[in-house]
Amino acid sequence: MPLDLFRSKKVFIGVVHLPPLPGSPQWGGDMDWVLNRAQEEALTLAQGGANGIIVENFGDTPFRIGRVEPDTVAAMSLAVDRVKQVTTLPVGVNMLRNDARSALAVASVAGAAFIRVNVHYGVMAAEEGMVQGEAYDTLRYRAALGADVKILADVLVKHAVPVGPQDLALMAQETVYRGMADGLIVSGPVTGQPADAEDVATVRNAVPEGFILVGSGVDESNAGRLLAQADGAIVGTSLKRDGIVGNPIDPDRVKRLAEIIHELS
């Protein structure tokens, strides 16, 4: 069970939002700076009380649907490896936007414990285009790698809308029972905006024994309410200085939120 991986009754996973990587429009040309920034933020999260860390190529906007370029895979591998070197916490990979195969490859090589997949099962319409789940290929690729990497999958992911009417409870069940995801993530409409507590409850009722995380908008003011029916949260924006996603992580914000989440246990 993923809950055993994080060794906490309420899981707090902090996000390392990587700056633009090689090949992206805003790439700054200094990979050492990127790696040092990733290391610094990972240490801040670990020292502040996080139970896990997930690394994202967040600065690579605009994102492409499907496979990322080899330079992105190489840069992500270096970044995840650097984070792994400085912390004993479970580390995850999110390869935006929706490249589960490359995320698994990076996780396998760098020794990461889990990946986040925005659309693992089903089809969503996003700003970048149509995003189609590849559960069939992802599960078989994980088996071929022989990698013990957990798959945490979003249900009706943020920055996207369903293609046609969609039942949240049914999609949660399909993602776990047919898509074989190891855990589910419930998010708000966009980065930094909170999930609906009723949506979290719906997913919990649909998959009572499932591992469920809130994937956006958790902060000091709403953690108790949003995590009442969840096993934990993936948190990025509210940990940043002044709550601005592009800013560095604020150590005090990490510590305060960690205390709140762990008290919920």
* pLDDT tens for each residue of 84-105: 999 999 999 999 989 999 999 9
Q: What is the domain count for the chain? A: 1
Where does the pLDDT of residue 108 fall: very low under 50, low under 70, confident under 90, or very high at 90 and above?
A: very high
Question: What does DSSP assign to residue 98?
Answer: T
pLDDT at 265: 73
31-68 per-position pLDDT tens digit: 999 999 999 999 999 999 999 999 999 999 999 888 99
CA dihedral 103, 121, 162, 69 (to 10 degrees): 30
- Tell me the β-bridge partners of 93: 55, 115
Domain that holds residue 83: 3-259
Rounded to 5 degrees, φ, ψ at 244 are: -105, 125
Where does the pLDDT of residue 229 fall: very low under 50, low under 70, confident under 90, or very high at 90 and above?
A: very high
Closest to 52 measured CA to CA, from 79, 84, 19 = 84
Residue 264 domain-assigned (yes or no): no
Instruction: Name, in order, each residue with C-beta under 8 angstroms of 165's C-beta and a sequence gap of 6 or more.
Output: none
234-249 per-position pLDDT tens digit: 999 999 999 999 999 9
Mean pLDDT of all residues belonging to the chain = 93
Residue 162 domain-assigned (yes or no): yes
Q: Rounded to two decimals, what is the model's pTM?
A: 0.95
Residue 265 domain-assigned (yes or no): no
pLDDT at 3: 66
Residue 130 domain-assigned (yes or no): yes
Where does the pLDDT of residue 124 fall: very low under 50, low under 70, confident under 90, or very high at 90 and above?
A: confident
Residue 132 domain-assigned (yes or no): yes
Please indicate whether residue 195 or residue 30 has the higher confidence score (pLDDT): 30
CB 46 within 8 A of CB 54: no
Where does the pLDDT of residue 83 fall: very low under 50, low under 70, confident under 90, or very high at 90 and above?
A: very high
Rounded to 5 degrees, φ, ψ at 3 are: -60, -35
Residue 150 domain-assigned (yes or no): yes
Instruction: Name, in order, each residue with C-beta under 8 angstroms of 261's C-beta and a sequence gap of 6 or more.
Output: 10, 11, 12, 223, 227, 232, 233
Where does the pLDDT of residue 1 fall: very low under 50, low under 70, confident under 90, or very high at 90 and above?
A: low
Bond prior to 62 in cis (omega within 30° of 0) = yes
Burial class (CB in 10 A: 0-12, 13-18, 19+), 205: exposed
State the CATH number of the domain containing residue 80: 3.20.20.70
**Rounded-to-integer distance, Cα 102 and Cα 67, Å:** 7
User: Across residues 176-199, what is the average pLDDT?
Assistant: 89
Closest to 118 measured CA to CA, from 106, 109, 126 = 126
Cβ atoms < 10 Å from Cβ of 208: 8
Cβ atoms < 10 Å from Cβ of 64: 15
Where does the pLDDT of residue 221 fall: very low under 50, low under 70, confident under 90, or very high at 90 and above?
A: very high
pLDDT at 107: 98
User: Across residues 14-18, what is the average pLDDT?
Assistant: 98
User: Across residues 136-141, what is the average pLDDT?
Assistant: 97
